[in-house]
Structure 1
């Protein structure tokens, strides 16, 4: 899902240097908020393109492959992919220029919290809707017995390992976001401008 690989330098800094605990300047918060928006937009584009490819591929499978299990599995994968796309749209943090201008720190924190919630719950809204269709489709493949025991194990084990990796990577991303949220929470808010200024 979200690519926070550039934050590894932040992670290293956080572990090795007390400077990571210093208050974050407002300009740094503004830069990070802008960067988060770019990351989220790129991630969503990739996810929607992948969803279109999955839907097209399984639509072909539903028409071409023989047998009810293949057809039902393909249709369930398509339904699960549409549900995941809808959930991604619904759960994604969106830029709000008015909120950003009012209080950049609160705005950035709210976006981080929304992304953290989305990533930490990826098993429920992203992976679980795809499992029934994939399991039905893989069962149909195993019952065809074209691949033998080893081939069927690879066909079933491969996607399950991929799902486990996706779940772990998103949990890791959520933990990184929690650390960023904690840092913002530690920082004192910027003083409000005086009335006479």
Structure 2
């Protein structure tokens, strides 16, 4: 006999058009863990490539552009790119060749949780390190353009600020989706 709690849970699943009523199979968890590992590796390669491009571009800026603010801003931006690459390496999930021998559900959940934690805090470790260098660089741009006022600095800061906001919001959204996956995995473990 099904109790009221179970009836309510099944009704909620049916009403939400949930396709799977059963817990994820071990093979499905293994497949999802492999897909997550591949996605993380691809993302990390893109991020390391972007960091390398930032380092090269801002090294050229530091060497070529006139003015102390542009040079200092370029050097601080290089430092930020290197810091972010190091943080990504330190914070990101790594594949575990011994995962087949351990509880694959626990391994997959731990990887999801690590990614969620990292993405939910992207503003702190990914975006914030760039703010000083880019801020000084943009002040140098405003000065070189002959407009030293706050309005000029805001003009130069508008596009990067919008890009930063978009990056932050996208990562918060992905972190929320990962929290849902973790909750779903936890609900299967509790059944």
Coarse TM-score class (shorter-chain normalised):
0.7 to 0.9
- State the shift of 1:144 in Å: 1.8
4+ residue segments displaced more than 2 Å: 13-16, 18-22, 145-155
Q: Note closer, same or farther for the CA distance 1:154–1:21 as it changes in structure 2 (3 Å cut).
A: farther
Match of 2:50 in 1: 50
In the alignment, is the contact (CA less than 8 A) between 1:59 and 1:75 conserved in 2? Answer: yes
CA RMSD of aligned residues (A): 2.4
Q: Which runs of 5+ in 1 are unaligned?
A: 1-12, 191-197
Match of 1:32 in 2: 32
Matched positions, count: 178
Give me the whole-angstrom Cα distance separating, in 1, the residues matched to 2:15 and 2:62. 51
TM-score, length basis structure 2? 0.86
Note the alpha carbon deviations across 1:107-144, whole angstroms, 9 max, x for none.
00000000000000000000000110000000111122
TM-score, length basis structure 1? 0.83
Q: Which runs of 5+ in 2 are unaligned?
A: 1-12
- State the shift of 1:99 in Å: 3.0
Q: Note closer, same or farther for the CA distance 1:100–1:189 as it changes in structure 2 (3 Å cut).
A: farther
Higher relative contact order (CA 8 A, sep 6+): 1
Question: In the alignment, does 2:162 pair up with 1:161?
Answer: yes
Match of 2:96 in 1: 96
